[in-house]
Structure 1
Amino acid sequence: MIPMCNLYEHRVSISEASETLRQIGLELDAKSRARNYEPDYTGADSDGPVILSDGNTASVETMRWGFPGIPPKDEKKRPKPITNIRNLNSGWWKNVNGEFLREPEFRCLVPFHRFAEPDKVNGGNAWFRTTVAEPSFFAGIWRPWEGERLKSVEGRKRRQWLPDDWRLYAFMTTEPNEVVAPIHPKAMPVILTDPDECAEWLSGGADSLRLQRPYPADQMELMER
């Protein structure tokens, strides 16, 4: 597997997700309870499961990972999807996507089992996970978007650039903790495992941005290769 930052593995247990949501007063809808997600990897500009809420019920939906990127100066090149969000004071975020951070409608939880960071010393990927009982979530935001993205086409081995109405997601990052920093000193995802914090994130609003902080190092591990 190619070493990369934008890679994580999800193992979505509907029963575990339902229990976590039930603790915060949300019932997973019947359609989501009937779905089965096989363990899989999600990379940038690929699809992954996310959990949405309307305040009363919750659902598991499939969306595309990566917000619309900043157009490059070379018009022949396509913008790279923005998968992770850290600097909330950037013009790109405040002026283009700010509304999607404020409103609870656009908050989401991104379930994951482990995430990768490139190991420049030993080569390959270093994998991290929480040591608490699953499920673990990234603090996510989603938005609708119309435009061209890579899409599977029947009879073609490679995905093709095609226009569509997309639902895109990204998740917050923050300073790395003591476990992640030796491998990736730049940042780590914002991780939520406590049901009350999941509820706070989904509720939206500026106060919930306090959750943009490193996950406790004593509840995380660097997995053996």
Structure 2
Amino acid sequence: MNKTQEFRRSGLTLSEAARLFMSYPNAKMLLPVTTTAIAARLALGRFTKRDTATLATTLAIEPFVEWLIHVNVLHLGPRTFRGKSYELPSSKKHRLHHKDPRNPEILFIPALPPTLLGLAAANWAILRNPRHTLTGMATSFTLLTAYEWTHFLIHSAYTPKSTLYKKLRRTHQLHHFRNENYWYGIITPISDKVLGTYPAKEEVPPSPTVKTLGV
């Protein structure tokens, strides 16, 4: 049985899903990078109110950053310039993910190393302090890992047990199988609820472009 078949196998357990998740390059990179960032921050010590503020702010903005990227980057269609069509690689891969949502090979964040470097650079540019920057990096990397794991689990054959996970799985399935213009959140529905993209299923008609994103 190959990894895709295992991913789709009825009766997949949480521990089996975790082992499968760890066989993919993004997970192999994220776990040690995130662990290292957390360990480095703990080693520096001297936690202050600014560390608490950095942690709280990162947690607060993450759902909205996720929402903005999902809407404005991942769902961005091809653009024409001087008669030629151009499309961001991340947008193209996400469109393929909508076309084949149970394919684990195309559901991970593309270009992970530049993403991690970008998060590190953004934290340094804003905080300008090694300890606070590491606090921001550790939090950002942890949330990114949570995003990848949750997204992986949602699309797998694993049957949800907790109420929160059942809700996240259901709304993400609505995004993929009912209407791609709603239910953008992965690890929390907060941004959808605040920004008006969390309607009841019955309030939204099925979209004919849910698989193609209009392309």
TM-score by length of 2: 0.28
Structure whose alpha-carbon radius of gyration is higher: 2
TM-score by length of 1: 0.27
Give the number of the structure whose residues are more often helix, by fraction.
2
